[in-house]
């Protein structure tokens, strides 16, 4: 029996005139089948779905992918040849796909010449993935809860003399103890002038009294991710540090208040950006306001001045304004936010 996600994809394919769809991105295969290994998936509009795997993943695929025929690709076989035979047997004429390498695309196109046309349509799966189900939200709330615990540990751990790596280790250990399957991305503990690097990672630098420390963390739970940032000061903040931190917090709040179904993503970005620009720091807000979160930590919808996205209930996005002043330091406040019909809900939460 097919799961609801494959049924929904086939409905989209029919409506848009496709006869089938090829899936190569591991995360899309995970979303559609439940199989978490590398492989290829053929989804015909009519007929059985076929999951192609190599020997190392065969038993796992049979266990996890219940809505597909699992086909073993042997060492002396070529994936593109097996897929092309299946496509020809289905009599498909127009095939969509999410992503294919240039080399694989050229090989498959040659094998299907005169039989089927290939067209890149990654948005078909993205549209399904952007709106989270109740089950997905349950997993994301757990990931957010774990992440919030990690941020509490960051706050309790940070002190002059510790290295950024040492702080990151305590955070990651706490999240693992709380049930995290792993981190959602490379943990960021960036202190001093390094805090002005939006993706500064962590280093052997020791935290000094008066340092600004940007902590950006996320947990993964059953493949779903969360994302959260707080900015701390090692000791008492200076007037300038306190002022910029408050501006950043206000910018986040102004955007958060506007979250609901039907709002334009760029409207949220504009609300936060206006606060920062009015305070005189507009040139230091160097990225968009946020992004979607789910099986990946960066996915649609994107929140930036150029975005054409309109938010829907069930979207999960980050709201993360930042001010980054080279040579002085950076400030970012970020939460993972669930979009409801009439409001937004922070599912990460830590106040200090």
pLDDT tens-digit profile of 333-347?
A: 999 999 999 999 999
What's the pLDDT score for residue 60? 96
Longest dimension (CA), the chain: 71
Residues 157 and 294 in one domain: yes
Percent of the chain at pLDDT > 70 equals 99
- Are the C-beta atoms of residues 12 and 122 closer than 8 Å to each other? no
Tokens in use for 117?
């046309």
Residues 301 and 258 in one domain: yes
Give the model's confidence band at 352: pLDDT under 50 very low, under 70 low, under 90 confident, else very high: confident
| Least confident segment among 64-68, 155-159, 169-173, 317-321 | 64-68
Summarize the confidence of residues 24-36 as an average pLDDT. 97
Query: Measured on CA atoms in the order 108, 109, 115, 119, is the torsion positive or negative?
Result: positive
Residues 217 and 232 in one domain: yes
Q: Which residues touch 156 (CB under 8 Å, ≥6 apart)?
A: none
Summarize the confidence of residues 220-227 as an average pLDDT. 99
Q: What is the pTM assigned to this prediction?
A: 0.95
Percent of the chain at pLDDT > 90 equals 97
351 occurs within a structural domain: no
The 10s digit of each residue's pLDDT in 241-268 is 999 999 999 999 999 999 999 999 999 9
- Are the C-beta atoms of residues 87 and 79 closer than 8 Å to each other? no
Res 300 pLDDT > 80: yes
Residues 125 and 181 in one domain: no
The DSSP secondary structure of 279-320, one letter per residue, reads TT-GGG--S-SEEE-SSSSSEEEEESTT---B--TT-EEEE-
Residues 143 and 16 in one domain: no
Residues 135 and 191 in one domain: yes
Res 186 pLDDT > 90: yes
Residues 75 and 171 in one domain: no
The structural domain count of the chain equals 2
301 occurs within a structural domain: yes
Residues 9 and 44 in one domain: yes
282 occurs within a structural domain: yes
What's the pLDDT score for residue 189? 99
Domain-ending residue, one of 129, 161, 182: 129
Alpha carbons 181 and 194: distance in angstroms, whole number: 28
CATH (domain of 69):
3.40.350.10
Beta strands in 5-148 (DSSP E): 20-23, 40-44, 50-54, 69-73, 94-97, 117-120
Residues 148 and 112 in one domain: no
DSSP 326: T
Helix 265-278 to helix 239-256 angle, to the nearest 10 degrees?
160
* Number of CB atoms found within 10 A of residue 286's CB: 11
CATH (domain of 184):
3.90.230.10
Q: Which residues of 198-218 are buried (b: 16+ CB within 10 A; e: fewer)?
A: bebbbeebebeeebbbbbbbb
Residues 96 and 161 in one domain: no
Domain-ending residue, one of 103, 129, 155: 129
Res 83 pLDDT > 80: yes
Q: Which residues of 25-48 are buried (b: 16+ CB within 10 A; e: fewer)?
A: bebbbbbbbbbbbebbbbbbbebe
Domain of 161, in residue numbers: 131-346
Give the model's confidence band at 66: pLDDT under 50 very low, under 70 low, under 90 confident, else very high: confident
**Local structure of 176: helix, strand or coil:** helix
Domain-ending residue, one of 129, 159, 191: 129
Residues 297 and 179 in one domain: yes
What's the pLDDT score for residue 1? 59
Residues 320 and 184 in one domain: yes
Quick one: how many helices (H) and strands (E) in the chain? 10, 19
Alpha carbons 217 and 200: distance in angstroms, whole number: 12
State the chain's mean pLDDT as an integer.
97
The 10s digit of each residue's pLDDT in 121-175 is 999 999 999 999 999 999 999 999 999 999 999 999 999 999 999 999 999 999 9
């Amino acid at each position: 029996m097919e799961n609801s996600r494959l049924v929904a994809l086939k409905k989209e394919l029919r409506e848009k005139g496709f006869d089938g769809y090829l899936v190569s991105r591991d995360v899309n295969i995970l979303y559609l089948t439940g199989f978490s290994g590398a492989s290829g998936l053929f989804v015909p509009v009519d007929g059985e779905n076929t999951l192609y795997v190599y020997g190392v993943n065969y038993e796992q695929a049979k266990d996890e992918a219940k809505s597909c025929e699992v086909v073993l690709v042997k060492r002396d076989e070529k994936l593109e040849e097996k897929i092309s035979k299946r496509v020809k047997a289905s009599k498909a004429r127009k095939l969509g796909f999410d992503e294919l390498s240039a080399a694989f695309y050229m090989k498959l196109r040659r094998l299907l010449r005169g039989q089927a046309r290939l067209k890149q349509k990654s948005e078909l799966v993205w549209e399904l993935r952007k709106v989270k189900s109740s089950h997905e939200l349950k997993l994301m709330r757990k990931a957010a809860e774990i992440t919030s615990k990690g941020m509490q540990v960051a706050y309790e751990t940070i002190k002059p003399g510790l290295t950024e790596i040492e702080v990151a280790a305590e955070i990651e250990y706490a999240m693992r103890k709380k049930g995290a399957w792993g981190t959602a991305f490379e943990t960021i503990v960036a202190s001093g002038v390094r805090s002005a690097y939006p993706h500064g990672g962590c280093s052997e630098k020791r935290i000094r009294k008066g340092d600004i420390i940007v902590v950006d963390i996320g947990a993964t739970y059953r493949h779903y991710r969360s994302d959260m940032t707080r900015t701390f000061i090692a000791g008492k903040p200076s007037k300038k540090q306190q002022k910029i931190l408050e501006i950043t917090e206000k910018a986040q709040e102004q955007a958060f208040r506007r979250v609901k179904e039907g709002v334009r993503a760029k409207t949220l970005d504009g609300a936060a950006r206006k606060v920062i620009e009015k305070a005189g720091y507009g040139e230091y807000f160097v990225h968009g306001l946020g992004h979607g979160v789910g099986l990946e930590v960066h996915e649609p919808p994107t929140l930036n001045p150029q975005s054409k996205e309109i938010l829907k209930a069930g979207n999960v996005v980050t709201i993360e304004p930042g001010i980054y002043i080279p040579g002085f330091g950076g400030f970012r406040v970020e939460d993972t936010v669930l979009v409801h019909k009439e409001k937004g809900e922070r599912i990460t939460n830590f106040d200090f």
